Structure formats: structure tokens, C-alpha cells
Amino acid sequence: MGFLKMIPGPIGQLANFKENAKKYGKEYAKQIAQKMAKEFAKRVVKQVAQKIAIAILTNPYVLAAIAIVIAVVVIFIIIIGVISGQGNSSTNGASAQPGPPPSVYTFVALGDSLTAWPCDPVTFGCVDSNPWGSYRFTGDPWPTYLTTGDPSLKLLHNAGVPAETTTQILSRFQSDVATLNPDILFILGGTNDTGKGINTIANLKQIISDAQGANIKKVIVLTIPNQCNPISQSPLNSQIKGLASTTSNTFVIDINNALTCGVDYQADGLHFTNAGAKAVADYIDTQVHTQGIIPAPAAQPGPPPSQSPSEVAYCQGREAWSSQPYDSGNIGGTGCVPTSMAMILSSYGGTIYNPGQVATMMHNNGWDYLPGNKGCDGGKDCQGTNPWEISGAWLNSLGFKRAQTDIVNNWKSDVFLNTNQLQQIKNYADSGWLMLSAANGVNLPTRVNGGHEVVIETADPQANTITIRDPNSPNCRSGKTVTFSASNVGWWLITPVKIK
């Protein structure tokens, strides 16, 4: 061991470890040992690293691999930087903006049997043998049709209880409404108050006040059905309509606009049938959007536009949009133009429009038949253009093209189609065109007084027949077309239309 002590550096110190430990103590020896270990490890790592570096720098394959890895990392860093920059550019220096309104509004329907369910007409109205005088029901109540027909409205609870007065309905507010915290509250009550000395309006006002205290955003009061008994209920309905002007965030929807007296909608003169419940729901849905209670739904997206039309059919009557104002009346009575245009707009895919949406767009863009707009008032010609041509011009503004020459253009003078004109219709139809057309309605199979707009789908020159989609046809809801002899109808306008 003596010769080891003579070796300089760590080896020599290691040989003297025992002697140093005795002389300086265990702690000093520990420090010396740690120092020697670190220096030894450092030398070993340095030597190994040098050998590895030499091996890498002298191997071209390894160098190429390293270059590829570095390039990938650089590209990844650049991409992350660009994405981060785009995300920050929209928020840097800008204050937080309020979020969009909710896409789904929750609601509770509070009321009596008119809300609880529809009834099925039987021998004696809707009453069956249930001990408390219930009503035989079939189908769904209007709140269910409302929530299934509009994805922006979600029913939390149907709080309709048959035979209840508004006093009883008011007593259930906390348990049936407030605990659910809906966005919207619908109220339909008062028919059972008659002859009981109950202040219906006072109770409705208290329900509205309780709803506002519970932070319910919107309260919608529905009028009492009175189509079969207008004298007894009209005064009360007039007071109900006044609630909208006396209380904030309160709206009134007159559901009588959706009803007719008879077994179709009100089997016993009051309670809704299944069809009546659906008609009420459809009308309510239209009104909550047109009154601005909640934002109007975006047009339903469809497939990309196609050059070949599909068979989209709409009815102008007995639908949700039928009571929507249009021209001098409503779509159900005078809305063959927006209904026919909705068929054409929706037949080529892209965006799906219903007649109510088309009528609103026409009015907002000045293309309907109201005074001062670009259409015509009362069916009279204006601005040198008849009202049926206005439809074709407006379609053109929406991205559709109309033929340079109409097959028929003889406003209010009947033109009975010849073989050549029927062949033109067929040729256009075979090339993917639809014909926006107007005829003398009394000669159509549906027998409409005055001018009537329809969509011609095709014609058969050999059979002398023509096929149309008629918004006033009994078969319009099922999408069935109407084919009839071309000899019987006088046409005023036939304009071929197609997407550009």
C-alpha cells in the first residue's frame, strides 16, 4: 500500500483514506470521499461523451437523422405559434363580450285540463265514465307538441290539472313552477272560474308577480278558447290581452287565431282534440318567435344545392303559419305566393324555408303586396309589373334564375295550353326546372276564387295533362301532386325557375 500513497490525485488520496480519517475525523473523510466520487464521475462522463460525439460526427446516417428530427421540431413549434397567435388576436386588447342567448329555453305549462291533455270526441262530447268527469284523450297535449316541434323549447313539466280554478292554479306555483326554475312560464287558466266569484285577472297578475319574483325571464299568458262561445269569454280575453301592457316581460298569445269551432279542433266546444292541440302548439311556436319572445330559429340547414329539384310540398292552410298576416289577410287565405315560393326555395336543397319564413322575408324586403312595397296592393298591377312576376324577380335575388322567356305571360287573361307549350314545360322539367305559375283558380281542381299561384312540376303533351303542387290541395300535406287535363285551366303566368 505504500507505493499507492505516492500516486498523485484521487488514487493516492484514497490510499490515505484511513490515515486521514483518524487524523481529521469521520466528517472530513466523508467530504473527501464525495469529492473524489464527483471528480471520478465527471471524468468518466466527459470521456464517454467525447467518444459518442466523435462517433456521431463521423457517421453521415446519424447526422441525417438528427437533421430530420430538428426540422420536425421546428415546424411543430411554428404551427403551435400560429395557432396561438390566431387565438389571441381576437381577444387581445378587447373587453369581454356578453355571451349569446341560450339555444334552448326551458318552460313549464301551468293550467287546467286545456293544458293537461287533448280529448277524443265520443258520443257525448269528450266526457267518459271516469268518476271525476275526466275527458277521454288521445295523442299529446299542446305543451308536448310545442317541445317536440321546436328544438329551442324544452318542456320541464306539464302542470295542467283538470277542473282547477286560477285560485288553485296559483296555489301550486311554488311546487310546480318555482322549484324547476324555467326560463319561460306559459299560463292557460280561467275557464273553471265562471260563476264562482273568482277574480281571474287578479290571480293571473299574482302568478305573473310570483314568476318575476322567482326570476323567470318570460311569462306568456294564453287566451281562453272562445271560438264556440265568444260572447261569454270575450270580455275576459280582452282583460287578459291587457296584461301584456301592464306587466313587464309578460306576453299574450291569442290561441283563438289557431282554432275553429267544431269537432276538428274543439270536440265539445272547449277542449282541444289532438288536431286542436297541435294547431295551438304550432301557433304558439310561431308567435314566440314573431313577437320576439325568443330569437327566431335559423332556417333548417339542408344538403348542398342540387340542380335537380326534390318534391317539397307545403300547405297554406291549417298549418302553424296559416294565421300569420299576409297581404290583406293571412297565409291560410291569401298566401299561395309565399307557400309556392317556399316549395321552390326548399326543393333544391341548401336551406329549407317554410311559408311563414318566406312571407316574413318578403315583407322585410318589400316584396309582398302591401302598400308602398315592391309588390302590388289588392292584386292591382304596380310599377309596370304584375304581382306574379314579382315572385320570379324576388327568387332571382335569392340566387335562382328564371327563364329569359316565360311560357305564359298574359296577366288576368286565361291562356289554355297547347301541345307546344306543354312540350316546353316538359323540356324544362326534364332539365331540372320548376314552373312558378299563376292560374284562374276557379278552373283548378281545388276551385279557388281569383288568381292562384302553384308550382308546375311537369306536363305530358301526349296525354294533354299537367302536374302541379297546389298549396290549397287537400293532398298538399302528404306531398302528393295533382295531375289534371290541361284543357280545363286558364293560365296567367308560367315562369320556369331554377337554382343558378
Instruction: Indicate if 435 and 379 belong to the same structural domain.
Output: yes
Instruction: Please determine, for residue 133, whether its predicted confidence score (pLDDT) is greater than 50.
Output: no
Instruction: Indicate if 151 and 285 belong to the same structural domain.
Output: yes
Is the residue at 77 inside a domain?
no
Of 221, 256, 290, the domain-final residue: 290
Instruction: Indicate if 342 and 259 belong to the same structural domain.
Output: no
**For 69-98, what is each residue's pLDDT tens digit?**
777 777 777 776 655 544 444 334 444 445
d(CA 362, CA 273): 34
- Report the pLDDT averaged over residues 192-199: 92
Instruction: Please determine, for residue 368, whether its predicted confidence score (pLDDT) is greater than 60.
Output: yes
Bridge partner list, 272: 266
Instruction: Please determine, for residue 60, whether its predicted confidence score (pLDDT) is greater than 90.
Output: no
How large a percentage of the chain has pLDDT more than 90? 24
Task: Say what the pLDDT of residue 107 is.
Answer: 97
Is the residue at 450 inside a domain?
yes
- HSE-CB at 202 with a 13 A cutoff on CA atoms is 5
**Phi, psi (5° rounding) for residue 129?**
-90, 10
Task: Say what the pLDDT of residue 318 is.
Answer: 65
Task: Say what the pLDDT of residue 305 is.
Answer: 55
Instruction: Indicate if 485 and 457 belong to the same structural domain.
Output: yes
Under 8 Å between Cβ of 367 and 373: yes
3-state secondary structure the chain: CHHHHCCCCHHHHHHCHHHHHHHHCHHHHHHHHHHHHHHHHHHHHHHHHHHHHHHHHCCHHHHHHHHHHHHHHHHHHHHHHHHHHHHHHCCCCCCCCCCCCCCCEEEEEEECHHHHCCCCCECCECECCCCCCCECCCCCCHHHHHHHHCCCEEEEEEEECCCCCHHHHHHCHHHHCHHHCCCEEEEECCHHHCCCCCCHHHHHHHHHHHHHHCCCCEEEEECCCCCCCHHHHHHHHHHHHHHHHHCCCEEEECHHHHCCCECCCECCCCCECHHHHHHHHHHHHHHHHHCCCCCCCCCEECCCCCCCCCCCCCCCCCCCCCCCEECCEEHHHHCHHHHHHHHHHHHCCCEECCHHHHHHHHHHCCCCCCCCCCCCCCCCCECCECHHHHHHHHHHHCCEEECCCCCEECCCCCECCCHHHHHHHHHHHHCCCEEEEEEEHHHCCCCCCCEEEEEEEEEECCCCEEEEECCCCCCCCCCCCEEEEHHHCCEEEEEEEEEC
Instruction: Please determine, for residue 435, whether its predicted confidence score (pLDDT) is greater than 70.
Output: yes
Task: Say what the pLDDT of residue 96 is.
Answer: 44
Range ranked top by mean pLDDT from 50-54, 219-223, 276-280:
219-223
Is the residue at 360 inside a domain?
yes
Instruction: Indicate if 281 and 307 belong to the same structural domain.
Output: no
Task: Say what the pLDDT of residue 358 is.
Answer: 85
Is the residue at 87 inside a domain?
no
**For 20-41, what is each residue's pLDDT tens digit?**
545 555 565 566 666 666 666 6
Is the residue at 137 inside a domain?
yes
d(CA 94, CA 494): 55
Is the residue at 236 inside a domain?
yes
Instruction: Indicate if 440 and 335 belong to the same structural domain.
Output: yes
Instruction: Indicate if 390 and 341 belong to the same structural domain.
Output: yes
Is the residue at 227 inside a domain?
yes
Instruction: Please determine, for residue 252, whether its predicted confidence score (pLDDT) is greater than 60.
Output: yes
Instruction: Indicate if 275 and 407 belong to the same structural domain.
Output: no
Of 290, 316, 350, the domain-final residue: 290
d(CA 158, CA 165): 16
Instruction: Please determine, for residue 137, whether its predicted confidence score (pLDDT) is greater than 60.
Output: no
Instruction: Please determine, for residue 423, whether its predicted confidence score (pLDDT) is greater than 80.
Output: yes
Instruction: Please determine, for residue 285, whether its predicted confidence score (pLDDT) is greater than 60.
Output: yes
- Report the pLDDT averaged over residues 433-439: 88
- Output the domain CATH number for residue 419: 3.90.70
Task: Say what the pLDDT of residue 164 is.
Answer: 94
Instruction: Indicate if 286 and 309 belong to the same structural domain.
Output: no
Instruction: Indicate if 364 and 484 belong to the same structural domain.
Output: yes
- Taking all residues of the chain, what is their mean pLDDT, rounded to a whole number? 76
The number of folded domains in the chain is 3
Is the residue at 73 inside a domain?
no
Task: Say what the pLDDT of residue 95 is.
Answer: 43
Instruction: Please determine, for residue 100, whether its predicted confidence score (pLDDT) is greater than 50.
Output: yes
Strand-by-strand arrangement of the 250-253 sheet: 153-160, 105-111, 184-188, 218-222, 250-253
- Containing structural domain, residue 113: 105-290
**Phi, psi (5° rounding) for residue 68?**
-65, -45
d(CA 280, CA 241): 17
- Output the domain CATH number for residue 168: 3.40.50.1110
Give 62's pLDDT tier (boundaries 50, 70, 90).
low
Instruction: Indicate if 436 and 350 belong to the same structural domain.
Output: yes
Instruction: Indicate if 38 and 123 belong to the same structural domain.
Output: no
Cell of 188: 292557460
The residue type at 464: N
Q: Which position has the higher pLDDT, 310 or 27? A: 310
